Amino acid sequence: MTSTAHGPLTQLSEEENLFFATVRQFAEETIAPLVRQMDEEQQFAPGLVEKLFGLGLMGIEVPEELGGAGGTFFDAVLAIEALARVDPAVAVLVDVHNTLVINAMRRWGTAEQQQAWLPRLATKTAGAYALSEAGSGSDAFALQTRAEATPDGYRLNGRKLWISNAREAGLFMVFATLDPAAGYRGITAFLVEKGMPGFTVGRKEDKMGIRASSTCELILEDCEVPATSLLGEPGKGYKIAIEMLNEGRIGIGAQLLGLAEGAWAHAARYAQERKQFGKPIAEFQAVQFALAEMATEMEAARLMVYNAARLKDARLPFVREAAMAKLFASQVAERVASQCVEIFGGNGFVRDYPAEKYYRDAKVGKIYEGTSNMQLTTIAKQVLGGR
């Protein structure tokens, strides 16, 4: 069973509907049979990432002449939503790669960098976004990774933590400070390739949810990068980070929306199959009301996510709307996933059924790419500042 009744503001064009349906079919036919195994083994199934590239999901906004699909940011949001219905862990890979790495390259990369990297990012090379450190989470610009200028480029030293896509990525956008005394104005972004001397992907975190998604530490020990690895201008890394994370919140909102939709569909289906007192539990008003509340909150989250994405594509202000969408979608995903477990009853508490995984996967939505408190801080500044 699926929730298909959308209001006019969430209606999709014919092309968008076809794209969403194609990605959803791929997720249901190709990813769904692998979800449990990938969650248990904490890694993507062999060949799955290559299939994502083959379907064009890793270069959605890359221009066609550079090997991409030539789509919109809204298309990327639809893909993330459709994938997250089946496995939020796979959606994370596609989300980070498209909304953070590729968009940063398109906006801040030189013509030479774009020509060199966008075709690879669209067709075969996954990307990762390396900002967080042990001592810099919400306080993102308290990072300690250092960059020193050398005759041929830069030397990087430090450790990054909680880096999504770390195992799969071939290109890392690494943020380091050239001048600690300058505070955030010393932060600079660099392009680091896997395999560069002095660069190592470290331990993978053993997470509660989205376990197939790799989240690792990065170790930089006298990692020498050429001058051409500089992304943007020296000292402008903070601007790159802020702008990309503002957009990335919409992608996370889409992921959480998709998660809620997947959990709701399983709960609704189970409610029609599970019988108690001689009839399906879906015939009991309490269960009907629970499903109705869930569907209502999902529609509200969908409105917020889609609105933020449309504003971004229209080049209109969207920071407030992005923060609201991420905040609310994370709340809805957690509530819907929790209610899904309860509708499954005892079966919702065991791994033989899908409910508990959605519940585990939902929790991180209030934490990564800006905690809920950070979203509230952003929203407060926006609304009190006159927007």
Q: Measured on CA atoms in the order 246, 252, 256, 261, is the torsion positive or negative? A: positive
Non-local CB neighbours of 237 within 8 Å, separated by 6+ positions: 175, 176, 187, 188, 189, 231
103 contacts 41 by C-beta, under 8 angstroms: no
Non-local CB neighbours of 267 within 8 Å, separated by 6+ positions: 291, 294, 336, 339, 340, 343, 344, 355
Question: Using CA atoms, how far apart are residues 94 and 111, in angstroms rounded to an integer?
Answer: 24
Non-local CB neighbours of 337 within 8 Å, separated by 6+ positions: 259, 260, 263, 355, 358, 359, 361, 362
Q: Which residues are part of the catalytic machinery?
A: 369
128 contacts 248 by C-beta, under 8 angstroms: no
Q: How far is CA 135 from CA 147, 164, 203, 237, in A?
A: 17, 17, 17, 18
H or E, element range at 279: strand 279-280
Q: Is 355 left (phi over 0), alpha (psi -120 to 50) or beta?
A: alpha
Strands (E), 83-239: 126-130, 146-150, 153-164, 169-177, 187-193, 199-204, 215-226, 230-231
Considering only CA atoms, which of 204, 341, 215 is closest in space to residue 270?
A: 341
Question: Using CA atoms, how far apart are residues 358 and 336, in angstroms rounded to an integer?
Answer: 9
